[in-house]
Chain A
Amino acid sequence: MMQIMVIGKSHVKTRSVRLTVTGDGLSDLMVRWLGEVLYLLAGEKQVVTDVVIESISPSRLDATLKTVPFDPNLHEIVCEIKAVTYHQIQVAERGDRWEARIVFDL
């Protein structure tokens, strides 16, 4: 999602952010997780550069994210995602991989 939104690189030291998200099933968890990532940019002006999912279940996700401050001289927002929606969301395991369909409000 962050790659859709922001281009550009920063050389400042990254900050670590730990996130725990709980949800009512995988779809809800997906919306809430992406909503947290979106808020880091929209509310905290932090660009997420790396994510490590430490544990995940249908109702809980623990992750550590690396972020850098958004700098208009170094970063460009090429696509503003305003919200992560539940509209026609699909999160499902197909064979040996997971597929998700998420509609963003632009």
Chain B
Amino acid sequence: MRTKLEKIDKYHWLIPKAGAMRVPGLVFSSIELIEAVQEEQSLIQLANVATLPGIVGHAVAMPDIHWGYGFPIGGVAAFDLDEGIVSPGGVGYDINCGCRLMTTRLKADEIRPLIKHLVSALFKDIPTGVGSTGTIHLSNRDEAEVAVQGAAWAVKKGFGTIEDLERTEDRGALEGADPSVLSERAIKRGKDQLGTLGSGNHFLEIQTVDHIYDTEKARAYSLFKGQVTVLIHSGSRGFGHQICDDFLKQMTKFASGRQGPFELPDRQLACAPLKSDKGRSYLAAMACAANYAWANRQILMHWTQEILLKALSIDPTELGMKLLYDVCHNIAKEERHIVDGNKVSLCVHRKGATRALPPGHLLLPGIYRNTGQPVLIPGDMGTHSYVLAGAEEAMLQSFGSSCHGAGRLLSRSQATKRARGRSIRRELEDQGIFVQSKGNKTLNEEMPEAYKNVSQVVAAVHGAGLASKVARLRPIGVIKG
């Protein structure tokens, strides 16, 4: 079944309000991308999101939209604080799954001959893979501190510097985290997974800047052509999954808004009013997981720096590793936006979407106040990733949001079938990309063809004015779980 979709212009499509939808759907896409989107159920999911109580403006979809559980991935929805709801399915299982990009002083030509050595060193010492556990084992007290302090906890323990916090969304800690609402199961699963990359689409990538689109902003972001950068993609691991699971199960019995019960179009959209005890508890638990994820990526960055220093036998000044920015993809949080000409507080759900603040926004640190927020868009491991800068149109059209990646095109099983009889590892190596992973299963599932063309996704975001292209990065070494 296809959802009715009206083309507005080159980069905008509208799902008109119909049935129980309280607002229309707005899809950012392009002629190259929209056909594949219409073939799957993600637009129906977007229309379902538009039926939730208290939603304002539009239910928004980014160009990398694909079907998820309940909310589509690449979806953004904002809710009125009085009448609206919060939905664990609108955040996702991997709470604060996100990306962190580090710049270095190294040039790709210098390290290309050593890439196998570097990737092996990273793969050996960064815990990766299914259910991976690290060398950090948290006491209950430490875990509660991580849940409240986030990246600052890691910095306090020597993993990085205060400067890193300036370069992290929300300074690496959401307010309102309350460990007392966590289940024993969540606490147990969080004890030994801090400082681990995980499996699936999570990765650590050594890259080179292969194209600069905006010289001025690239300079402000300390990016130059031929430079080596490192991108980390990871989240809150089993801790976040357990929190999502716990609240989803509790909320399946709470299909009610402030105005009373309503028909839930999809059980995975289970939600609770923002002003209810259940809604508040979920936000407090979700903040714990978000903060855990920021601490996780902070630690992974620190270890990456240590491993590269040792493997290259250079000093920190020569490596010059600095955090460019850390963004989250899966989150719900209170933000100020203009709706119908009025500035209001809303609970913005981003599931597979990236915050993209424009130049001058008060939440930006001084270093990025004039450029706009760095927006990090990882591609698949065979093509490119992008650095963009948040732009004013994002505040006007998408609640300050941009896309989060290429977006899946093939399911994991479809990708596995497509990879039969091929060596994805060898194919990537032939392109100058050295990959190390635990077995071939993840590699096959994450093959480049499994993803949309990230350049088309980024072109649609740039064309719609949500964020502007600054630089393109090409992978040269990848570790995966």
Residues of B within 8 A of A31 (CB): 249
Q: Which residue of B lies closest to A38 (CB)?
A: B245
Q: Which residue of B lies closest to A87 (CB)?
A: B69
- Which of B25-33, B52-60, B146-154, B236-244 is near enough to bind chain A? B236-244
- Known contacts A77-B131, A83-B93, A87-B268; A24 and B252 CB within 8 A of each other: yes
- Known contacts A105-B93, A106-B200, A106-B412; A83 and B245 CB within 8 A of each other: yes
Q: Which residue of B lies closest to A45 (CB)?
A: B131
CA distance A37 to B152 in the complex (A): 35
| In the assembled complex, A2 has its CB within 8 A of some CB on chain B | no
CA distance A42 to B241 in the complex (A): 10
CA distance A105 to B199 in the complex (A): 12
Query: By the criterion CB–CB under 8 Å, are B189 and A42 in contact?
Result: yes
Query: By the criterion CB–CB under 8 Å, are A43 and B189 in contact?
Result: yes
Residues of A within 8 A of B124 (CB): none
Query: By the criterion CB–CB under 8 Å, are B70 and A87 in contact?
Result: yes
Least CB distance, A45 to chain B, in whole angstroms: 8
| In the assembled complex, B130 has its CB within 8 A of some CB on chain A | yes
CA distance A42 to B245 in the complex (A): 13
CA distance A34 to B244 in the complex (A): 16
Chain B residues 55 to 104 lying within 8 A of chain A, measured CB to CB, are: 69-70, 93-94
Least CB distance, A37 to chain B, in whole angstroms: 13
- Known contacts A80-B130, A80-B131; A86 and B252 CB within 8 A of each other: yes
CA distance A35 to B189 in the complex (A): 14
Count of chain A to chain B residue pairs whose CB atoms are closer than 8 Å in the complex: 57
Query: By the criterion CB–CB under 8 Å, are B249 and A103 in contact?
Result: no
CA distance A106 to B249 in the complex (A): 18
Contact of A82 among B93, B248, B267 (CB under 8 A): B93
Residues of B within 8 A of A24 (CB): 252-253
Query: By the criterion CB–CB under 8 Å, are B252 and A82 in contact?
Result: no
Query: By the criterion CB–CB under 8 Å, are B241 and A82 in contact?
Result: yes
- Scoring A residues 75 to 96 as 1 if CB is less than 8 Å from chain B, else 0, what string do you get? 0011110110111010000000
- Known contacts A28-B252, A32-B249; A43 and B242 CB within 8 A of each other: yes
Least CB distance, B217 to chain A, in whole angstroms: 37
CA distance A25 to B325 in the complex (A): 46
| In the assembled complex, B7 has its CB within 8 A of some CB on chain A | no
| In the assembled complex, B425 has its CB within 8 A of some CB on chain A | no
| In the assembled complex, B137 has its CB within 8 A of some CB on chain A | no
Residues of B within 8 A of A35 (CB): 245, 249
Query: By the criterion CB–CB under 8 Å, are B131 and A86 in contact?
Result: no
Contact of A80 among B69, B189, B199, B253 (CB under 8 A): B199
Query: By the criterion CB–CB under 8 Å, are A85 and B253 in contact?
Result: no
Residues of B within 8 A of A85 (CB): 69, 268
Residues of A within 8 A of B4 (CB): none
- Known contacts A83-B241, A85-B268, A105-B69; A77 and B249 CB within 8 A of each other: no
Q: Which residue of B lies closest to A31 (CB)?
A: B249
| In the assembled complex, B188 has its CB within 8 A of some CB on chain A | yes
- Known contacts A35-B245, A78-B441; A86 and B238 CB within 8 A of each other: no
| In the assembled complex, B185 has its CB within 8 A of some CB on chain A | yes
Query: By the criterion CB–CB under 8 Å, are A43 and B188 in contact?
Result: yes
Chain B residues 222 to 266 lying within 8 A of chain A, measured CB to CB, are: 238, 241-242, 244-245, 248-249, 252-253, 266
Among A42, A79, A82, A86: residue with most chain B CB under 10 A = A82
- Known contacts A86-B69, A105-B69; A42 and B441 CB within 8 A of each other: no
Chain B residues 180 to 206 lying within 8 A of chain A, measured CB to CB, are: 185, 188-189, 199-200
CA distance A78 to B185 in the complex (A): 23
> Could you list which residues of chain A lie within 8 angstroms of chain B, going by C-beta atoms?
24, 27-28, 31-32, 35, 39, 42-43, 77-80, 82-83, 85-87, 89, 103, 105-106
Closest 5 CB pairs of A and B: A86-B267, A80-B130, A77-B130, A87-B69, A85-B69
Interface pairs (15), CB distance under 8 Å: A31-B249, A35-B249, A42-B131, A42-B241, A77-B130, A78-B441, A82-B200, A83-B244, A85-B268, A86-B252, A87-B70, A87-B268, A105-B69, A105-B93, A105-B241
